[in-house]
Structure 1
Amino acid sequence: MNLEPREELEKELQIINKWEKEQKGLWFWDRIGRLPFKILDKVTPSFIQKRLGALLDEIGSYIQTGGKYLTKESAIIRKVEVHSPNLNITTIEDISRDVPLQVMDKVGQDIKKSGSHLATVQGASTGIGGVFTLAIDIPLLLGMSIKTLQDMAVAYGYNPRDKQERVFIVKCLQFTTSDVIGKKTLLKEMENMVLPGSESKREIASELQGWREVVYTYRDQFGWKKLLQMVPVAGIIFGAFTNRSMISDMADTGMMLYKKRRIIERMKEIGSTD
Structure 2
Amino acid sequence: MTSGPPVFVSETAYEHWAQGEVARWREKMLAPPSRWNRATRGVQQKITRAIPEKVHQAVTAVMEKMTRGILVGADFTTAEPLEGLSLEARDRRAAEFIKNYRTTAAVEGGVTGAGGFLMAAADFPILIGIKIKLLFDLAAIYGHAGEVFAERVFILRLFELAFSSPDHRADVFRMIEAWDPATCPPSFEGFDWRKFQQEYRDYIDLAKLAQLIPVVGAPIGAVVNWGLLDRLGAYSINAYRMRWLAGC
Partner letter of residue 246 of structure 2? Answer: I
Partner of 1:188: 174
User: Does 167-176 or 19-28 show the bigger shift?
Assistant: 19-28
The structural deviation recorded for 1:204 is: 3.5
> Is the contact made by 1:226 and 1:239 (CA closer than 8 Å) also made in structure 2?
yes
| Gap change, CA 1:175 and 1:38, over 3 Å in 2 | same
Decide whether aligned partners of structure 1 residues 159 and 200 sit closer, same or farther in structure 2, where only a CA change above 3 A counts: closer
Amino acid corresponding to residue 65 of structure 2 in structure 1: D
Q: Which has the larger radius of gyration?
A: 1
* Identical residues among aligned pairs (%): 22
How far residue 138 of structure 1 moved from its aligned partner, in angstroms, is 1.2
When residues 239 and 24 of structure 1 are mapped into structure 2, their CA distance, relative to the original with a 3 A threshold, is: farther
Query: How far is 1:149 from its partner?
Result: 0.9
Residue in 2 aligned with 1:238?
A: 220
Match of 1:15 in 2: 21
Matched, 1:68 2:54: no
Q: Distance between the aligned counterparts of 2:38 and 2:141, measured in 1? A: 31
Q: Which residue of 2 aligns with 1:264?
A: 246
Cα distance in 1 for partners of 2:14, 2:139 equals 21
Partner of 1:80: none
Aligned length: 230
Could you tell me how far 1:209 is from its partner in structure 2?
A: 4.1
Q: Aligned residue for 1:117?
A: 103
Q: 2:150 aligns with which of 164, 168, 177?
A: 164
- The 5 A counterparts of 1:88-99 are 91-92=80-81, 95-96=82-83, 98-99=84-85
- Assess, with a 3 A threshold, how the Cα gap between structure 1 residues 192 and 52 changes in structure 2: closer, same or farther: closer
- Give the CA RMSD over aligned residues: 3.2
Alignment of 1:221 with 2:203, yes or no, is: yes
Deviation at 1:248, TM superposition (A): 0.8
Matched, 1:249 2:235: no
Deviation at 1:157, TM superposition (A): 0.7
1:235 to partner: Cα distance? 0.5
Give yes or no for contact 1:32–1:223 (8 Å, CA) kept in 2: no
CA–CA distance in 1 between the matches of 2:109 and 2:138? 22
* Structure 1 residue matching 2:146: 3-state secondary structure: coil
Q: 1:258 to 1:207 in 2, by over 3 A?
A: farther
One-letter amino acid of the structure 2 residue matched with residue 247 of structure 1: L
User: Alpha carbons of 1:129 and 1:243: their partners in 2 closer, same or farther (altered >3 Å)?
Assistant: same
The answer for the alignment partner of 1:173 in structure 2 is 159
Which amino acid in structure 1 is aligned with residue 242 of structure 2?
K
C-alpha distance in 1, partners of 2:174/2:222? 33
Aligned counterparts of 2:45 and 2:114: Cα–Cα separation in 1:
20
Structure 2: gaps of 5 or more residues: 1-9
Conserved 8 A contact 1:129-1:233: no
The verdict on how the C-alpha distance between 1:158 and 1:55 changes in structure 2, with shifts beyond 3 A counting, is same
Match of residue 7 from structure 2: none
Tell me which amino acid in the other structure corresponds to 2:23.
N
Structure 1 residue ranges without an equivalent (≥5): 74-90, 267-274
- State which of 111, 133, 142 in structure 1 corresponds to 2:119: 133
Match of 1:143 in 2: 129
- Deviation track 1:176-203 (CA, whole Å, cap 9, x = no partner) reads 1112211221121112224xxxx88442
How far apart, CA to CA, are the structure 1 residues paired with 2:115 and 2:44?
22
- SS of the residue 2:215 aligns to: coil
CA distance in 1 between partners of 2:75 and 2:47 (Å)? 31
